[in-house]
């Protein structure tokens, strides 16, 4: 038992090392081919980030983490929620309107807006869940379509409620009143070192994710349905009910994705609000193997790599395309090396099992390796 655990740990470390080594080699090769200064690039990437870069990394990772969690809930049940992108945008827009109107004072207003975002995100994902449960429509197709619809609805409504600042070419919702913003805290001196207060809510969401999935009967049902529907049905689980509930939860978490930005930085939803977070979440959930700690590491890696883009372009003069290639290579090697090591682990396990099975019947012929 302990032996297996040690092996798991060793394999985990080995996969990380393998990924690093491979990423380092391939990236260096790309840089040499592109004629960029390899030494400078690595010095810039590996330099310990300045306080304001650290703040950016934590902030962006917070947002990506929530997106990764939302996708992972679906994955755990074999549901591919591609609609996180539409869900978070329509939810963030709703929250921005509710908070901007300021019907309630102070943090009551914030709470109402957050609740609205969760409900809208859940409802939007729920449409796909119900379609899947009642009509067997693939959630992949329906969520992609719902993304388009969300984009158009938000664009239309934004035009209706938008306020325009004088001289600006941007449009946005009403600015959230100061008393309803979620305060940031500083992690260093100088400008730009503010970390979203929402980071704690994200951590809480991660804990709840772990607790519900691993420590409750509901979580067991969900994982069981994901692993084998027939087995789930046999043990009395309603797959349809679980499908709808899983999509609702996934959408509810997706509703939170845009909120750190909304309440900690932008204070309104406008045409420059960050897009594409839902798709990043898919990659991060895969990278983190749908595990709350793994997703956190994946989100931090993504945020860290994103943060390198500017210094590499400005200080080292690397073309933005090369920066993007570098990021892609690093993510890819992490995924591949993890898979290689996992397969190796499985093979080890199988051999162990085969040996254990072979032992009581010693007289039989040799087991082929």
Partner 1 sequence: MRRTTKFAALLTVGILALTACGSDSDGGSDAAGDGGSAAPKSDVKVGMAYDVGGRGDQSFNDSAAAGMDKATKEFGMTSEESEAEDGEAENAREERLRTFAENGFDPVIAVGFAYAAALTKVAAEYPDVHFAIIDDASLADVKNVASLVFAEEQGSFLVGAAAALKTKTDHIGYIGGVETPLLQKFEAGYVAGAQAVNADIKVDTTYLSQPPDFSGFGDPAKGKTTAQGMYDAGADIVYAAAGGSGAGVFEAAAESKTKAIGVDSDQYKTADASVKDVILTSMLKNVDVAVYQYLKSVDGGTFPAGVTTYDLKVDGVGYSTSGGFVDDITSKLDDYKQQIIDGKITVPTEPAK
Instruction: Summarize as ranges the residues that interact with partner 1 (CB under 8 A).
Output: 17-18, 21-22, 24-25, 28-29, 31-32, 35-40, 42, 52-53, 56, 59-60, 63, 89, 151-152, 154-156, 158-159, 164-171, 191-192, 261, 265-266, 270-277, 306-307, 309-311, 313-317, 320, 324, 340, 344
From 69, 84, 56, select the one nearest 284 (Cα to Cα): 69
Find the length of the chain: 369
CB-wise, 170 or 227, nearer to partner 1? 170
CB of 69 to partner 1, least distance (A): 18
Helix pair angle (106-135, 139-161), 10° resolution? 140
CB of 25 to partner 1, least distance (A): 5
Kindly write down the DSSP assignment for every residue of 58-91, as one continuous string. Answer: HHHHHHHHHHHHHHHHHHHTT---TTHHHHHHHH
Within 10 A of 248 (CB to CB), how many other CB atoms are there? 20
Helix pair angle (292-311, 277-287), 10° resolution? 120
CB of 28 to partner 1, least distance (A): 4
Kindly write down the DSSP assignment for every residue of 332-352, as one continuous string. Answer: HHHHHHHHHHHHHHHHHHHHH
CB-wise, 59 or 250, nearer to partner 1? 59
CB-wise, 24 or 210, nearer to partner 1? 24
CB-wise, 223 or 342, nearer to partner 1? 342
CB of 113 to partner 1, least distance (A): 19
Helix pair angle (84-101, 277-287), 10° resolution? 130
CB of 152 to partner 1, least distance (A): 6
CB of 238 to partner 1, least distance (A): 38
Place of tokens 């979203």: 196
Place of tokens 């594409």: 276
CA distance 82 to 74: 9
CB of 234 to partner 1, least distance (A): 39
CB-wise, 240 or 355, nearer to partner 1? 355
CB-wise, 65 or 273, nearer to partner 1? 273
Calculate the alpha carbon distances from 85 to 45, 62, 161 in Å: 29, 16, 22
CB-wise, 213 or 299, nearer to partner 1? 299
Place of tokens 């997703």: 295
CA distance 35 to 31: 6
Token pair, residue 33, equals 């081919």
């Amino acid at each position: 038992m302990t032996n297996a655990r040690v092996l798991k740990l060793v394999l985990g470390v080995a996969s990380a090392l393998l990924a690093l080594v491979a990423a380092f080699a391939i990236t260096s090769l790309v840089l040499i081919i592109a004629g960029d200064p390899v030494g400078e690039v690595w010095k810039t990437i590996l330099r310990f980030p300045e306080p304001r870069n650290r703040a950016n990394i934590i902030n962006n990772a917070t947002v990506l983490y929530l997106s990764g969690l939302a996708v992972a809930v679906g994955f755990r049940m074999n549901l591919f929620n591609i609609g996180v992108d539409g869900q978070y945008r329509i939810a963030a827009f709703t929250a921005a309107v509710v908070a901007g109107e300021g019907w309630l004072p102070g943090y009551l207003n914030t709470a109402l807006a957050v609740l609205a975002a969760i409900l809208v995100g859940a409802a939007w994902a729920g449409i796909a869940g119900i379609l899947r449960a009642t009509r067997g429509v693939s959630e992949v197709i329906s969520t992609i379509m719902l993304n388009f619809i969300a984009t158009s609805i938000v664009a239309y409504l934004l035009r209706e409620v938008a306020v325009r600042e004088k001289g600006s070419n941007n449009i946005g919702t009403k600015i959230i009143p100061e008393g309803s913003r979620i305060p940031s805290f500083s992690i260093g001196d100088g400008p730009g070192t503010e970390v979203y207060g929402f980071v704690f809510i994200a951590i809480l969401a991660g804990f709840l994710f772990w607790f519900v999935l691993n420590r409750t009967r509901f979580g067991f049902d969900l994982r069981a349905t994901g692993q084998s529907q027939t087995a789930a049905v046999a043990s009395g689980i309603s797959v349809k009910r679980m499908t709808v509930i899983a999509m609702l939860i996934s959408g509810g978490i997706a509703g939170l994705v845009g909120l750190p930005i909304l309440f900690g930085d932008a204070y309104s939803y406008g045409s420059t609000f960050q897009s594409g977070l839902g798709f990043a979440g898919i990659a991060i959930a895969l990278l983190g193997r749908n595990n709350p700690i793994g997703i956190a590491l994946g989100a931090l890696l993504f945020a860290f790599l994103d943060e390198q883009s500017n210094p590499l372009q400005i200080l080292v003069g690397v073309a933005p395309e090369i920066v993007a290639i570098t990021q892609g290579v690093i993510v890819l090697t992490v995924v591949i090396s993890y898979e290689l090591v996992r397969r190796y682990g499985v093979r080890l396990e199988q051999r162990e099992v085969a040996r254990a099975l072979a032992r009581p019947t010693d007289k039989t012929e040799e087991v082929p390796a």
